[in-house]
């Protein structure tokens, strides 16, 4: 699919101190996201590359893992070697019992 293997982790394998980079659209983010995630919509990544750390681990997340895998492949192509995809995305995150909050820090839902 991508020509190279996309590194992936599950919610249980999330590296200590990793930045969780949520690349979903604004409405998806507002409905429910991981409390400590940073929101950077997929289509804005090329213009906002400077906001993606190159040193610390970065775990990219979307709804089910497709968009985030494409973002990981793109970032790797731009020289990032510290990025991995969250396998199963926010659906796997929520299914693993991890917290999901909305834009008001109240319990959220994955859409």
Q: Which residues are the active-site residues?
A: 62
- Intra-chain end-to-end CA distance of the chain, in Å: 25
3-state helix, strand, coil in the chain (%, to 5): 35, 15, 50
Distances (CA, A) of 44 to 23, 39, 73: 9, 10, 15
- DSSP code for 83: E
């Amino acid at each position: 699919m991508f020509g190279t293997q996309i590194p992936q982790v599950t919610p249980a394998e999330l590296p200590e101190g990793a930045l969780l980079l949520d690349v979903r659209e604004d409405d998806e983010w507002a409905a429910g996201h991981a409390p400590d995630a940073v929101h950077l919509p997929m289509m804005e990544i090329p213009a906002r590359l400077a906001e993606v750390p190159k040193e610390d681990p970065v775990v990219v997340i979307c709804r089910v893992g497709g968009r985030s895998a494409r973002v990981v492949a793109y970032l790797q192509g731009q020289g990032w070697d510290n990025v991995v995809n969250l396998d199963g995305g926010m659906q796997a995150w929520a299914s693993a019992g991890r917290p999901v909050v909305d834009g008001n820090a109240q319990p959220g839902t994955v859409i």
